[in-house]
Chain A
Amino acid sequence: KQEVTQIPAALSVPEGENLVLNCSFTDSAIYNLQWFRQDPGKGLTSLLLIQSSQREQTSGRLNASLDKSSGRSTLYIAASQPGDSATYLCAPSRGGGYQKVTFGIGTKLQVIP
């Protein structure tokens, strides 16, 4: 059974700071890993998708890396802004078994102006 852990659970940083969110998973037999953000009362917004054969993906100020062998992924946010405040979730997707996609509980980020 896949288990996903996200550290830290909550993070508060001043605007402009660079930060790293961590995601670890127990089953390395994954096809891909997706990072999302969720604003209160809303659905999830897709940020980045990394295939199992890739090491990293970049989109604007966001960079996600994947080390499948060690079961880790990180999301790097450069020059954080108040609009980045949200809960960030990672979700590895595997090829078989009944637990197709497993989400972490998330990291709640607050960027202080």
Chain B
Amino acid sequence: KAGVTQTPRYLIKTRGQQVTLSCSPISGHRSVSWYQQTPGQGLQFLFEYFSETQRNKGNFPGRFSGRQFSNSRSEMNVSTLELGDSALYLCASSLGPLGGDQPQHFGDGTRLSIL
């Protein structure tokens, strides 16, 4: 069974640009969550989608947005990129919504560098 797939693996952008990251969950999983990981802040929760609906959102500015498609694949978009957005962006999927009895499974992430 294929794991969580994130594309691209690496991305370099400049300030002011926008970027879209993609996440394909494990087959049958309906919940997709996004996280930002930086050396200084650790892993921080961005948002969760379940059955195409955003169920919860972390404390990030509106420049960070996402969506989920009917096949459970999810995209995350960051607009007007800032230097501080440089990070490893991780996606996780689970059978049920967060807080339930199903574990999260993570992809290997997209490393975003802002120049």
User: Measured between C-beta atoms, what is the minimum distance from B62 to chain A in Å?
Assistant: 13
Closest to A39 in B: B108
Q: How large is the interface on A (under 10, 10 to 19, 20 to 34, 35 or more residues)?
A: 20 to 34
Q: Could you tell me which residues of chain A, from 15 to 52, have a CB within 8 Å of some CB in chain B?
A: 31-32, 34, 36, 41-46, 49, 51
Chain B residues bordering chain A, tally (CB within 8 A)? 28
User: Measured between C-beta atoms, what is the minimum distance from A77 to chain B in Å?
Assistant: 18
| In the complex, B92 has a CB within 8 A of chain A | yes
Total number of residue pairs linking A and B with CB closer than 8 Å: 65
| In the complex, A104 has a CB within 8 A of chain B | yes
CB of B90 within 8 A of CB of A43, answer: yes
User: Measured between C-beta atoms, what is the minimum distance from A25 to chain B in Å?
Assistant: 14
User: Measured between C-beta atoms, what is the minimum distance from A34 to chain B in Å?
Assistant: 6
Closest to A97 in B: B56
User: Measured between C-beta atoms, what is the minimum distance from A113 to chain B in Å?
Assistant: 26
Point out the residue from A45, A49, A104 that lies within 8 Å of B106, measured CB to CB.
Answer: A45
- Assembly CA distance A34 to B45 (angstroms): 14
CB of B101 within 8 A of CB of A49, answer: yes
Closest to A45 in B: B106
Point out the residue from A51, A98, A103 that lies within 8 Å of B101, measured CB to CB.
Answer: A51
